[in-house]
Amino acid sequence: MMARLLVGITTLAACGRSQPSADPHDPCAAEARADHFVDGLRKRGAAGALDFALVSSEPAPPARGDNTWIVQLDAISSGAAGPVDGATIAVTPFMPDHGHGATVKVNVTALPTAGQYRLAPINLWMPGYWETTIRASHGSTSDSAVFKFCIAN
């Protein structure tokens, strides 16, 4: 009898708490790992040699299906600071929670503006949390950055 009374009190106390609940139909409702999208979102490369900026996204913010990103690549070392033209860039969208990526190859096109590249299509084909890694190399410099977005239904 005492055990039932304790369970009942605990249940009532838990029900009285005012905690937001995640919408079970929205994979992004409680996602805390994702970046907050803004045009110009900057990431310092993991090696500290390059700066990656997501100048724009079409659609904005990134959404389910094919996306086109314009990325600005800048060297941040004191000897060669500034826009990086002629870089070799690889783009890998990946869903770590599912253990898979996208099957569509991302094409990289250098743009007329110094250091800018068009990445398309970035195929975020299903709802959920995506990490898109951009790896860049130029001469002896190599670096990478990860842009993290949750794609709603």
CATH code for position 44: 2.60.40.2480
Q: Residue 67 sits in which domain range?
A: 28-151
In a domain, 63, yes or no: yes
In a domain, 79, yes or no: yes
Instruction: Compute the CA torsion angle 53, 39, 41, 54 (nearest 10 deg).
Output: -30
User: How high is the pLDDT of residue 17?
Assistant: 34
pLDDT tens by residue, 34-75: 999 999 999 999 999 999 999 999 999 999 999 999 999 999
Buried b (16+ CB within 10 A) or exposed e, 93-127: bbbeeeeebbeeebebeeeeeebbbbbbbbbbbeb
Residue 19 carries which DSSP code?
-
- Alpha carbons within 13 A on the beta-carbon side of 140: 2
Cβ-Cβ contacts under 8 Å for 6 (sequence gap 6 or more) = none
Structural domain total, the chain: 1
In a domain, 1, yes or no: no
Q: What is the pTM of this model?
A: 0.83
In a domain, 103, yes or no: yes
Residue 22 pLDDT grade (very low, low, confident, very high; cuts 50, 70, 90): low
In a domain, 11, yes or no: no
In a domain, 135, yes or no: yes
